[in-house]
Amino acid sequence: MKKYLQITTSTLLVASLILINGCKKGKDGAPGKDGSSNVTSHTFSTNSWLSNPSRYFQNFPIAEITSSNINSISVAVYFSTTSGVWIALPYTYVTTPNNYFMGFNTSAGLVQVTWDCNSTVSIGSDPNAIFSTTVQIKIVTIPPSARKANPNLDWNNYSEVKQKLNLKD
């Protein structure tokens, strides 16, 4: 048995050395843009808003948010009423007599943008009426690797996010 154990140990050692020395690293591929892999951007025009007794809202389908990544993916949402100017959510619009709050919720396959009014008597006016124009919504999904690769990126500044991650409008 002792001789069998020595042969087996010797055989394993030789096989390990052959495997280690036999592996060769291939050529590296071309370097990619830091942090931009799998970052997506979607832009929507919102001509009308849905409502319930407490708020206005709009649902946007986002396939990149799945049940398997919902707890790890980051989502940034921006809105615009002027071409090229994007404002990060959450956002507060101060007016008299009411203030409005735009925010968002995420679930698998969906981002819901909400518009709340601090009035105790009504839900106020929808964003299109407040801003006198069609509201544009931009939703950016960011996997954890892109978030980690860009620790100093100001995610509230869409121009900076767009430039750094090479996003297309």
Residues 34-89: tens digit of each pLDDT: 445 689 999 999 999 999 999 999 999 999 999 999 999 999 999 999 888 999 99
Q: Which regions of the chain does DSSP assign to beta strands (E)?
A: 40-46, 50-52, 55-61, 74-82, 85-88, 91-94, 99-107, 110-117, 135-142
Say whether 135 sits in a helix, a strand or coil.
Answer: strand
Q: What pLDDT, on the 0 to 100 scale, is given for residue 82?
A: 87
Q: Which residues contact 131 (CB under 8 A, 6 or more apart)?
A: 81
- DSSP assigned state of 121: S
Give the chain's length.
Answer: 169
Which tops the pLDDT comparison, 163 or 20? 163
Q: What is the pLDDT of residues 87-145, one digit of tens each?
A: 999 999 998 888 999 999 999 999 999 999 998 888 999 999 999 999 999 999 999 99
Contact between residue 112 and residue 71 where contact means Cβ atoms under 8 Å apart: no
pLDDT at residue 49 in the model: 97
Q: Extract long-range pairs of 156-159: CB within 8 Å, 24+ residues apart.
A: 156/76, 156/88, 157/88, 158/76, 158/78, 158/86, 158/88, 159/86
Q: What is the pLDDT of residues 11-45, one digit of tens each?
A: 544 444 444 444 444 444 344 444 456 899 999 99
Where in the chain are the domains?
A: 40-159
